[in-house]
Structure 1
């Protein structure tokens, strides 16, 4: 991790930490809260310490010593990516132990509904019941007013009326899924129209027409269920690049990035270390650590 990604904010009071968490939630940012549950022996972090790790790898709060920093950040990014909390157990270079809990803080899934018909009615009601933030719009200009994040999805059910205009407006955002309620022929015409306007396949892949999983749905409520099932399935898929795997510090066993300032080259191989302590220990007798 580079210093450019570090926001040196230290939370003097718990209220400062809570205020910052509220601010990030209001801004619909993806981040993780890291809390120190327990420590043993020499550690820079102490029980009760809390910090925030954001999806770009930056952090706010005291993160402790260099030898555990990358492990904490990499695990936090994985938690943000997967949306699943985890406990983390780390050893420090000087023999201390850290027990951490990392909790993902992700915005609520957002569902944009466009149209006025029974399918939209059932999507709105069922979506609210399973925790979606529902936004119903009836003007194309309203799309520009919505903050769209990686957990935002849209369903266009205008039954052919301005559907290509709504779809094009959504394509110009980073929205993850655009479900269109239309027949196969209408779907082919829409995709062909957008192709001719210059949209590439990787952009058009976000459009699903006809929308919904194939569950042989017939009634409006069944169609709504099939669409929400499809959105739920897509929301669970990993769409964020996995954190690049680092190098193993052969002295202490920590995973470190190649951007660390502590490394040593033996023959044609470069070894990376979490701290000067591990680097010096390696260089004193490299053969102990080289397999």
Structure 2
């Protein structure tokens, strides 16, 4: 779980430059700093590392018994957008205290169309911190870096809206909202299905866009759409569930993919390290109850 890019950062400037590079590339990642250690630990206070959104890591992550938990907690921090404080025990009886801070790219709001509704969407979006971009032609979309922090509003009032939806559909955006009537929306969705797009992709489209607040004026419609975008942006995406076990020797949570495991009484037990496996093997009866 996770691939190391470099063994360590030789100095703080190298670490800072790498963070700057990832931010410029609009990547999501977490910075992990070792705050304090007690007893035996491969990690030391002041050590820093980077966990990227694909589970790969850069910097010294320490021993096997803490590695998976650090990566797992960092990915949760990235997904939730929240700082985490982590306390771990090492398999040799030490303790590690960590600070995990997610670094996320600014949410991007792409607006297609020029009318009173898009005017207010832009104003509200900018006021609450979105990076707002306006588009008038499908070819302009190719120049925009789309990711799961990108939200798109199509408000062309029926003019080429199906064309814009098709161009955006295969990108990695979180949400595509179309300002249209239900009948027009059904026509757009039918068009996309007939073009061969899967229901999974089409499910990213919300038409009519916005939460139902009985909005009437352009300002109210814009507010309902921004509210829906915020709701979607806060929802955690479905996570792949990985089976876990408790290391009976040290109490650590470990994945069933761990290379350290033993079979006793027709059951398999998993361990965080060779040390814990050997300790278990020497006298399994004292650990299995």
Instruction: Select the residue among 120, 126, 138 that pairs with 2:136.
Output: 138
- Counterpart for residue 35 of structure 1: 33
CA contact (8 A) 1:67 1:93 kept: yes
Change (3 A) 1:9 1:28: farther
Change (3 A) 1:67 1:290: same
CA contact (8 A) 1:179 1:210 kept: yes
1:286 aligns with 2:245: no
CA contact (8 A) 1:81 1:242 kept: no
Any stretches of 5+ residues in structure 2 without a counterpart?
none
- Counterpart for residue 82 of structure 1: 80
- Counterpart for residue 20 of structure 2: 22
The 3-state SS of whatever aligns with 1:108 is coil
- Please say which of residues 264-273 and 223-232 is displaced more in the overlay: 264-273
CA contact (8 A) 2:243 2:256 kept: no
Query: What RMSD, in angstroms, separates the aligned Cα atoms of the two structures?
Result: 1.3
- Counterpart for residue 276 of structure 1: 274
Instruction: Select the residue among 94, 116, 119 that pairs with 1:118.
Output: 116
Q: For residues 27-74 of structure 1, what are the alpha-carbon distances to aligned partners after superposition, in whole Å with 9 as ceiling and x for unaligned?
A: 111111111111111211111111001121111000111111111111
CA contact (8 A) 1:164 1:190 kept: yes
Aligned mates of 2:279, 2:264 — CA distance in 1: 14
CA contact (8 A) 2:31 2:101 kept: yes
1:101 aligns with 2:99: yes
Q: For residues 135-161 of structure 1, what are the alpha-carbon distances to aligned partners after superposition, in whole Å with 9 as ceiling and x for unaligned?
A: 101110011111111111100011111
Map 1:53-92 onto structure 2 (within 5 A). Answer: 53-92=51-90
Aligned mates of 1:172, 1:117 — CA distance in 2: 26
1:167 aligns with 2:168: no
Any stretches of 5+ residues in structure 1 without a counterpart?
none
Aligned mates of 1:223, 1:191 — CA distance in 2: 21
CA contact (8 A) 1:152 1:176 kept: yes
- Counterpart for residue 222 of structure 2: 224
Map 1:243-254 onto structure 2 (within 5 A). Answer: 244-254=242-252
Q: For residues 232-258 of structure 1, what are the alpha-carbon distances to aligned partners after superposition, in whole Å with 9 as ceiling and x for unaligned?
A: 001111114245242211100111222
- Counterpart for residue 184 of structure 2: 186
Aligned mates of 1:8, 1:207 — CA distance in 2: 40
